Amino acid sequence: GRGVYSFPLQSSPSEGFRANVVNRGQGAGNEDFAPWGGYIGFDTLGPSGGMRKWHFDYRTAPPSDSFDFYTVAVHELAHLLGFGTSTPFVMQLESGRFAGSQASELYGGSVPLHADHQHWGSTVTSPTQQRPATPSLAPQIAPGERRLFTPLDYAAMADIGWEATPEQLGLAGDVNGDLFVDGADFLAWQRNLGGLGGSLGDVDGSRRVDQYDGWLVHQALGAGDSAVAAAGAIAPEPSAVKLLAFALLMLASRRLKAS
């Protein structure tokens, strides 16, 4: 896939009007990235010229011969929203590493980048998870693989001007705070479904407990440090997982400053 932002209005009645449209009134474009929009394209053909196999069902893991559309779409959305492509991102590069303050604090230093300077280095994993995860913005993805946005991905987006909630910077799906994602977390989410104002089960920090939180918990089952988890966790029954369709734009609805 490929995702890029674009700027309209190369000429306009006034520079102030153009600036407000281009950066949506968010301030200096070299500090706080806020593109008006862009585009994403997806390959329909593989390198050999045959049809590329895509897996479109977000509720199930992709088979070994298909690329996960959810994973690729979220990855490309991050590029559209400025990861590896925006001026604020480029201005925080130091000797082939990303030196944004939040990403560096999370990683324990500036984060290595791929040679193209638009992806994390191939060996980079996201901290704050006892079993480190490959980030969404890694340079490559294999068929049969699903990746979620990790704390390191969210931290980098915060460094270029987007908002990241505390929940997004921690172990995804760990509802009860025991550093392991298991059936107990799923049941805690289920019992609080519909809650507002940061209720227990609000995995993504949206201030509400909804079906998307449950999907995140289900996707993260098994992540973390089982040695510190409570013994005898109850596994969720498959019939309990009844998820509604949700938007792929996970980041675009939250801004650091109101426009």
**Predicted local distance difference test score (pLDDT) of residue 173:** 85
**Predicted local distance difference test score (pLDDT) of residue 231:** 40
pLDDT, one tens digit per residue, over 105-117 is 999 999 999 999 9
Locus of tokens 């929009």: 37
* Residues 6+ away with beta carbon under 8 Å from 220: 148, 171, 172, 173, 174, 181
Asked whether the beta carbons of 217 and 240 are under 8 A apart, the reply is no
**Predicted local distance difference test score (pLDDT) of residue 253:** 39
* Beta strands at 67-68 and 93-94: parallel, antiparallel or unpaired: unpaired
Compute the C-alpha angle 6/9/15, nearest 5°: 115
pLDDT, one tens digit per residue, over 30-47 is 667 777 777 788 888 777
d(CA 22, CA 19): 5
**Predicted local distance difference test score (pLDDT) of residue 17:** 66
d(CA 153, CA 172): 12
Beta bridge partners of 3: 40
d(CA 189, CA 34): 32
Asked whether the beta carbons of 184 and 234 are under 8 A apart, the reply is yes
d(CA 122, CA 114): 7
**Predicted local distance difference test score (pLDDT) of residue 204:** 87
Can you list the residues of the chain whose pLDDT is less than 50? 228-259
**Predicted local distance difference test score (pLDDT) of residue 138:** 95
- Distinct helix (H) and strand (E) counts, the chain: 7, 7
